[in-house]
Amino acid sequence: MQMGEHRFQEALPEYETALSLDRNLTSALNGLGICKLMTGALQEVIPLMEQAIRLSPRDPQIGLWYWQIGRIHLLQWRIGEALIWLEKARSAMPELVYVHAALASVYGLNGDTECAAAELAEARRLVNDDRYSSMAHLRRGYWGVPKTRALFEATYFVGLRNAGMREE
């Protein structure tokens, strides 16, 4: 419940407790990874997702873990690595709107505006709201603590702008 209310710091001990009871609980690894990202501990996210992948390599949710790894690489300007992981995420879960948006950003940062525009169009097609209609709409979401939000601003949002997302 706390994670849904953007109370990521308070949710951390809950996921850590769940993992102390069952260190193979992949849903707790994913939840902990999200909390770590949103609280600014980016360096801790990829090992958690890699652990989930090792524990359950055929899991139907594996695309989420690939996406998490891809977006950490994106936020840290490792665009080549981000592209590899996000394409794996798209292959595993083509219906996951966030993957298409992240790919639009990566392609936009890479200067591949045609692929960027296509991924942005797919994200817009898949989502049931207007969040990808403009930067203003997208920024209304929660993007983590100031450190994390600044990384999204410097990478993800720049790439989406390059993909053709308008400001207003």
* CATH number of the domain enclosing 82: 1.25.40.10
Q: Are 163 and 116 in contact (CB under 8 A)?
A: yes
DSSP 42: G
For residue range 89-119, list pLDDT tens digits in order. Answer: 999 999 999 999 999 999 999 999 999 999 9
**Residue 94 located in a structural domain:** yes
**Residue 167 located in a structural domain:** no
How many domains is the chain built from? 1
**Residue 105 located in a structural domain:** yes
Spatial separation of the C-alpha atoms in residues 13 and 100, rounded to whole Å: 31
Residue 3 is predicted with a pLDDT of 62
DSSP 57: T
Pair of tokens at residue 12: 């951390």
Rounded to two decimals, the pTM is 0.94
Spatial separation of the C-alpha atoms in residues 75 and 64, rounded to whole Å: 16
Residue 5 is predicted with a pLDDT of 74
Domain that holds residue 137: 8-162
